[in-house]
Structure 1
Amino acid sequence: MSLLIALTLATAAATDAADHHDEAPTSEPRWSIVIHGGAGTILRENMSAEKDAEIRAALDAALRAGEAVLRDGGSSMDAVTAAITLLEDDPNFNAGRGAVFTWEGTNSLDASIMRGDTLEAGAVAGLSTTRHPILAARAVMEDSPHVLLSGEGADTFATQKGLEQVDPAYFYTQERHDALIRYKAHVEAQEQLSQLDIDHKFGTVGAVALDVHGVISAGTSTGGMTGKRWGRIGDSPIIGAGTYANDRCGISATGTGEKFIRLSVAHAICTMDVSATPPAEELAKRGTTLIIPLAPHQQLQRAADHLIARVGELDGSGGVIGLSSTGAPIYSFDTPGMYRGHSTSQGWRAVAIYKDEE
């Protein structure tokens, strides 16, 4: 068998075995949604059966909220906010109610959102009274000339736009407050610790959706890092770092924010030129010019894996979720677990926690 024939047969086999997510729908327009609730040291042996079920139920509820919007022909922007607002209200995640505490014992909330077809974006940082930061980020995008608002001004803007305000005590949970006390004790003992050492996970939440009109939107919401000081802002409200969307893909990230900012992770994934074609000289040596292209979701997966590896090279950690233009979901993370889930119009649906789950 010649090399060319062998490569041709291999290509055909690879095509037949391609991920089902890239198959074209037979009737209804395509939609898709993927969500996350943070990544980290999430191990089966450390998770009670009750907590496992609770987390899965929360992820399932967020998926159902997004599905309902997309199934009815709604926008990807509405689907993203529907999913994230539910996660912001769930104290199992580090966003909204259940957010981690700053060094001063307050909650400081960040969020961002972006629409892929127009590249419109909005973000907020340092909120303390707005119940749903993701809705404030969307309001910045749709009802202001700006992209990013911060602090008291961002809460004032949200108030003026009619978004629900709450007493800061609404965000309080004992578990998160205890984590702050532990963190401060270690710092005062001059022990070097990261957020992951204290919380065992980055609890940031996010969603990416593709609607039947072909528009991709992405959003991310977080409480930041336990014990953060001096008005620290991570990657979640930074367009291009923690959130990005264009007509090719959408990305939401969770992890060591400073590293994600330095690498512009979300933007880099969506704009990276990933090719499966060997150099021309290598093809010449093989005696063939056969090109085996990657499907869109395969390109996106390769780019995501590359960027997460780069984060690791900078001594960071975390993960991303994303959608390709075909609606195929991808995940990439370097931690033992990541709260995640996806659903598509083709009937593919899953909720997962641990690394070894499909």
Structure 2
Amino acid sequence: MLKAENLHATLDKEIYLDDVSFTVEPGRIYVVMGRTGAGKTSLMRAVAGLLTLDSGQLSFDGEPMTDTPVWKRDIAMVYQQFINYPNKTVRGNIEFPLRKAGMKGDELRNRVDTYLHKVGLTEFADRKPGQLSGGQQQRVAMARSLARHSRILMLDEPLMNLDFKLREQLREEFLSLFAGENQSVTLYATTEIGEAMMLGYELMVMHEGRVLQSGPPSEVFERPKNLQVAQIVNDPPMSVLRARVEDGDIILASGLRLPRPSHLSGLGEGTYDFGIRAMDLVPTGADGLAESTTISFVEVSGSETVLYLSAEAGDLVVMIEGIHDYRAGDTLRVALRSERFFAFDPSGDLLFAPAVEVR
């Protein structure tokens, strides 16, 4: 078990880690999620001994490791970039750290063969990395790290530089790679909530060097601690509208009155921030409880269309399945499903979340 207590690290007066604490057990994937610059890589560098701590303690199975030299920490890392030895074959890349550790003979050959098979590179064993695709090169790096059976395995956004289709494929393969025999303490950094939901046993959301919330991915996604977490774990970003509760209704800045749903019955009269996810906003041509908007920007993402809208009530982001011919400047009415509202107090803390909906 890896335990971090109150880690604090600065460099040239810039805070890299700010009072970070966590516990990671072996055999499961713990996902560290945050935007670029959130502190994910700094956290991994601190665990590896590559970032000097100003204060705080690291331990493994109760043994202090804060002052343990890098080479004694028994850590394997996989990075965004495909870091392989270009002059060695695929087999040679996987063998190299094992030979350095003294492994040889049948044990070495069997270990390498096992991981060549696991990552689907058996037939490429005698090729050099430069003869492989980007996805195959990342598999080599993954196999080399997994084959070491290190006590700590860290993966720093390993799929970031791959195309969308390949990322999806490798995510699924990761689950089988880690199933069963992986007994390492595993930290996996990502900016993507889809990756976190698919791979993570536990999710740590980071921002500006701090851990904002930890817990099972589904719990963090469905009950974000505050607006900051809600924005980080939603892609496209959650729309946030300031509105007042009055006479049992939710009244938007545009004057549109929405019924207050049962999960918000505990809200007293006053002003709140209401968040709603992009997939819960519905374009409509019909009259009724809908907000009139103007399209500012259209983004086609995979098989979905994302619309960025401006309205009197506030800015909205809508995600619709399929490819649609919307244009910037078009007007669009959007139905606001108040039963899907998250309610936050003026300081941004979550007050109420909608019931979990099977999508």
Q: TM-score range by the shorter chain?
A: under 0.3
Q: Max radius of gyration: which structure? A: 2
More strand by proportion, 1 or 2?
2
State TM-score, norm by structure 2.
0.26
More helix by proportion, 1 or 2?
1
State TM-score, norm by structure 1.
0.26
